[in-house]
C-alpha cells in the first residue's frame, strides 16, 4: 500500500489548504471536517498510512455514507487526496477463489506550489494532475463562427435551409 509519511509542516499545509478551499467555496464545511478527520484522526503518525472504512468515518465525523462518499470524491477531484481501492483474494477449500473489496486506503498530497487558486480548474487522472487553461475569448468566437459557417454550408447542400 502506498504510504506517504507527512512531516508536521506538510500536514499543517494540507489543513491550511483545506481552509483555503473552504473560503473559496470549492468544498463544504462537512468536506473540511472529513479532511481533518483523515489528516489528524485516521493517519498513522509512524507510517503515514490512512486505512479507514466509510463506517468508521461516519462515526468519527457524524455524517452519512453519502456525505462521506461525496466528500472523498470532491477532495480527490481537487487533488488533495487519492483513494486506493484495495482487494482481498479469498481462497476456498477446493481451489476456488474470490476477490472482495477491502477497506479503502487514502494518500494525502501536500501541494508543491501554491498557485492552485490562480489557475484554471484541475483535472486529475490516476497518476497526474493536469491544469486546464481557458482559451482566449477571441479564439472561441472565431471557432464558433467557423462552426456556424460549416453548419450553414451543410444545410444548404442538403436542402434544409
Average pLDDT per block of 10 residues along the chain, 161 residues long: 73 93 95 95 86 94 96 94 85 75 87 52 43 63 88 87 60
Residue 51, Cβ neighbours under 10 Å: how many?
18
* CA–CA separation, 33 and 48 (whole Å): 19
CATH classification at residue 77: 1.10.10.10
> Can you tell me which residue has the cell 477446493?
94
* CA–CA separation, 149 and 140 (whole Å): 14
**Could you give the number of structural domains in the chain?**
1
pTM of structure: 0.64
Range of the domain at 19: 8-88+97-112
Residue 20: inside a domain, yes or no? yes
Residue 138: inside a domain, yes or no? no
Chain centroid to CA 55: how far? 20
Residue 119: inside a domain, yes or no? no
Give pLDDT, residue 115. Answer: 46
Amino acid at each position: 500500500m502506498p504510504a506517504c509519511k507527512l512531516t508536521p509542516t506538510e500536514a499543517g499545509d494540507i489543513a491550511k489548504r483545506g481552509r483555503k478551499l473552504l473560503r473559496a467555496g470549492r468544498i463544504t464545511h462537512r468536506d473540511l471536517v472529513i479532511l481533518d478527520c483523515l489528516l489528524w484522526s485516521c493517519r498513522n503518525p509512524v507510517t503515514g498510512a490512512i486505512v479507514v472504512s466509510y463506517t468508521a468515518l461516519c462515526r468519527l465525523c457524524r455524517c452519512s455514507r453519502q456525505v462521506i462518499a461525496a466528500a472523498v470524491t470532491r477532495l480527490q477531484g481537487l487533488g488533495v487526496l487519492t483513494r486506493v481501492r484495495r482487494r482481498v483474494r479469498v481462497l476456498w477449500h477446493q481451489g476456488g477463489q474470490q476477490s472482495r473489496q477491502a477497506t479503502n486506503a487514502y494518500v494525502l498530497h501536500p501541494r508543491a506550489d501554491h498557485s492552485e487558486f490562480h489557475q484554471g480548474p484541475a483535472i486529475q487522472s490516476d497518476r497526474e494532475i493536469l491544469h486546464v487553461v481557458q482559451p482566449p475569448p477571441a479564439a472561441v468566437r472565431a471557432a464558433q463562427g467557423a462552426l456556424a459557417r460549416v453548419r450553414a454550408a451543410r444545410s444548404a447542400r442538403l436542402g434544409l435551409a
